[in-house]
Amino acid sequence: MKRHAIVLALFAFSQPLFAADLLQTYREARADDPVYASARAARDAGREYLPQGLAQLLPQIGASASTQMNYIGISFRDVLPSATRDGNTNGYGVSLTQPLFNWQAIMAYKEAGFKVAQAEAVFGQAEQDLIVRVAQAYFDVLASQDSLAFIQAQKTAISEQLAQAKRNFEVGTATITDTHDAQARFDLAVSQEIAAQSDLEIKKRTLQQIIGKFPDRLTPLRHSIDLSPPQPNAMEQWVSRAEDQNFTVRVQQAALEIASREIERSRAGHYPTLNMVGNFSKNSASIFTSGPVNYATDTIDRSIGVQLSIPLYAGGGVNSLVRQAIANQEKARHDLENARRTAALQARQAYLGVTNGMAQVKALEAALVSSQSALDSNKLGYQVGVRIEIDVLNAQQQLFSTMRDLAQARYNTLVNELKLKAAAGTLAEEDVAAVNRLLGTD
């Protein structure tokens, strides 16, 4: 096991002593990811549907005021001299309207509650998507670093074999074929190293897009970790949870409820409305004449009552709105069924990804032991003359490939575990913290 730890440490040779971990990266993403920020703003906007719906059931109060100057000129033909009247008129008023029965407003208020629930579900889905995106991008960077380390370690080993082949050829103990083969492998390793460096840069930029800064250092996954099966360890239980609790399913459930209320709201276009109305107004007028008499009047008007409005005919528009709402309800019902089936599929895929990933990790751990033994045997055989350099190079390549595949399998298993919980609608920061505890150095 000590030898295996030394071999596995090749993957971490480029890792710094202090590095950002997954939990810290996730929290930075919550603060800086524009997709998440947009979803949060959309959630806040969606919450305003409820007070807007309630406002249609509450009193509506308005006030008005006016002032005007009046000038009246009066001319009498050949009888009396002309006269003028001018003055100022001021007025103000207050009106109150309290809905007593308005079925459209009642349905709009009920519909608003489901719109708020839908906005919350959309945001919940965005929160879970953020966790999965951060984890995927984080482990993609680690996987790319592992791939680069694998290629660089392989390149170092090939370089040593190339130097040895050249020395053996010079003293006549090996053919030029061994030198050419080692040179070809070295040139290929150089090309692969350039491609791996480019891929690592792209993976880091992808993570930068989420967290808003370039990730120079990330804490690697420990080499000795124990992967636990999902709890409960039964696929259909996860599927059942996904069909009920998945956030996309919740969004579509709210959409179906909204569509049902919309039918009632549209039908209410045929229903009468009853409002209590009250008014208070006061007007003051001053009239100045060219004669000796001037006038000043104050008028106060108070009224309260009920107002009944009965729609008789709207050109068929209300019936059309009802038919449209019924069609939208049918669409929402099918969208909900599709969301349930999609959530079930996602849960099954993620569950199999976890369970098969754990099996693959165990198989690769056994393969790593075998690859190390094969490399040791080939090195010994080369020393005693029963193996050639190409056998040693192939054994080294097999060992490093197994190390890379083992690390990738662990990353994929952890990400699939997060995806499984996201499909079931239970993924939270605590799950990120649990994965984060697997990071560090052995």
The CATH number of residue 65's host domain is 2.20.200
In whole numbers, what is the pLDDT of the chain averaged over residues? 87
Tell me which of 309, 332, 357 is where a domain ends.
Answer: 309
Average pLDDT over residues 353-368: 94
Percent share of the chain, pLDDT over 70: 89
Model confidence pLDDT, tens digit, residues 23-48: 999 999 999 999 999 999 999 999 99
Q: At what angle do helices 34-46 and 103-171 cross, to 10 degrees?
A: 170
Model confidence pLDDT, tens digit, residues 86-101: 778 889 999 999 999 9
Average pLDDT over residues 315-331: 94
Model pLDDT, residue 160: 80
Q: Would residue 97 count as lying in a domain?
A: yes
Does residue 86 share a domain with residue 43? no
Q: Say if residue 388's pLDDT is above 80.
A: no
Average pLDDT over residues 187-211: 93
Q: Would residue 152 count as lying in a domain?
A: yes
Tell me which of 290, 309, 328 is where a domain ends.
Answer: 309
Does residue 318 share a domain with residue 294? no
DSSP per residue, 173-220: SS-HHHHHHHHHHHHHHHHHHHHHHHHHHHHHHHHHHHHSS----BPP
**What count of other Cβ atoms lies within 10 Å of the Cβ of residue 122?**
18
Q: Would residue 441 count as lying in a domain?
A: no
Does residue 405 share a domain with residue 268? yes
pTM score, whole prediction: 0.84
Does residue 242 share a domain with residue 187? yes
Nearest to 85 by CA among 282, 296, 283: 296
Does residue 195 share a domain with residue 77? no
Q: Would residue 226 count as lying in a domain?
A: yes
Q: Would residue 442 count as lying in a domain?
A: no
Range of the structural domain that residue 258 is part of:
2-57+102-272+310-436
Q: Would residue 296 count as lying in a domain?
A: yes
Name every residue whose Cβ is closer than 8 Å to that of residue 420 and which is 6 or more positions away in sequence: 230, 238, 347, 350, 351, 353, 354
Model confidence pLDDT, tens digit, residues 206-258: 999 999 888 878 999 998 888 889 999 999 999 999 999 999 999 999 999 99
Q: Would residue 421 count as lying in a domain?
A: yes
Tell me which of 260, 286, 309 is where a domain ends.
Answer: 309
Does residue 278 share a domain with residue 427? no
Tell me whether residue 149 is exposed, middle or buried, using C-beta atoms within 10 angstroms of its C-beta: 0 to 12, 13 to 18, 19 or more.
Answer: buried
The domain that contains 329 carries what CATH number? 1.20.1600.10
Does residue 186 share a domain with residue 137? yes
Model pLDDT, residue 396: 84
Does residue 147 share a domain with residue 67? no
Does residue 220 share a domain with residue 109? yes
Does residue 431 share a domain with residue 294? no
Average pLDDT over residues 103-124: 95
> Total structural domains in the chain?
2
Q: Would residue 352 count as lying in a domain?
A: yes
Does residue 314 share a domain with residue 301? no
Model pLDDT, residue 74: 59
Does residue 266 share a domain with residue 121? yes
Model pLDDT, residue 84: 61
Q: Say if residue 420's pLDDT is above 50.
A: yes
Residue whose pair of structure tokens reads 């104050």 in the numeric block: 298
Taking CA atoms, 352 is separated from 128, 250, 407, 424, 427, in Å, by 20, 24, 18, 14, 18
Of the pLDDT bands very low, low, confident and very high (cuts 50, 70, 90), residue 159 is confident
Q: What is the DSSP pairing of strand 295-309 with strand 60-74?
A: unpaired
Model pLDDT, residue 18: 46
Model confidence pLDDT, tens digit, residues 373-382: 998 898 888 7
65-69, 181-185, 195-199, 221-225: which has the highest mean pLDDT? 195-199
- Whether residue 410 contacts residue 361, with contact meaning beta carbons closer than 8 Å, is answered with yes
DSSP per residue, 114-138: HHHHHHHHHHHHHHHHHHHHHHHHH
